[in-house]
Amino acid sequence: MRAAILGGTFNPVHLGHLFIADEVMSMLGYEAVILVPAFLPVHKDAAPLASPLHRLEMLRLAVRGRDRFILEECEIRRGGPSYSIETAEELARCHEVQGKPGFIIGDDLAESFASWKEPERLAGIVDIIIARRNRENPAGFPYPHRVVRNAMLPISSSEIRKRILRKQPAEFLVPEGVWNYIKENHLYG
């Protein structure tokens, strides 16, 4: 199976995450996207973070019934800081991925990619795919990559958390099951 990896905090998972994954599959011919929630993200600020188990369950609800999305719990099981190089190596061993797996990052993360743990090695074992989130083109990305010309949805987890905290509408920015889970578990408010 040709598969791409999309890791993240998913705090919470939203329609933008799923849309980018679907666009990558459609545009680049991947059969599946492996979604990997981080246990402890190392490249994010100290935003209010739902527990790893809450974020995992929201992701499970978001992809229920969608066979092209594979939920991978390896970073949650491993615990501690979540490094992409370790995850990519583990997924290459555990999943029957044909060729190099794709590795999806948003253009907002492209600038800091060189500061990630072992970026050269990571770039050698995956095909980096840069999806548009905020910019039209990532400038000066020094590793082999492809840019996906996906439609940009102006949705972010941080904005959803802010809207929930302020009691502003956010229900239609996440899958229905995720919204119900957020409300039932009093997350982000």
All structural domains of the chain: 3-154 (3.40.50.620)
pTM of the complete model: 0.94
Classify 177 as helix, strand or coil.
helix
Please say if the pLDDT value at position 52 is more than 70. yes
pLDDT exceeding 70 applies to what percent of the chain?
A: 95
Q: Cα dihedral sign for 109, 163, 10, 156? A: negative
Q: What is the pLDDT of residues 73-98, one digit of tens each?
A: 999 999 999 899 999 999 888 888 88
Q: What is the mean pLDDT of residues 164-175?
A: 97
The residue with greater pLDDT, 44 or 165, is 165
* The pLDDT of residue 138: 64
Contact predicate 33/2, CB 8 Å: no
| Burial label, 80 (beta-carbon count in 10 A; 0-12, 13-18, 19+) | exposed
* The pLDDT of residue 137: 62
Contact predicate 126/118, CB 8 Å: no
Look at the block and give the residue holding tokens 């594979």: 70
* The pLDDT of residue 189: 87
Q: What is the mean pLDDT of residues 35-50?
A: 82
* The pLDDT of residue 44: 63
> Which tokens belong to 12?
């919470």
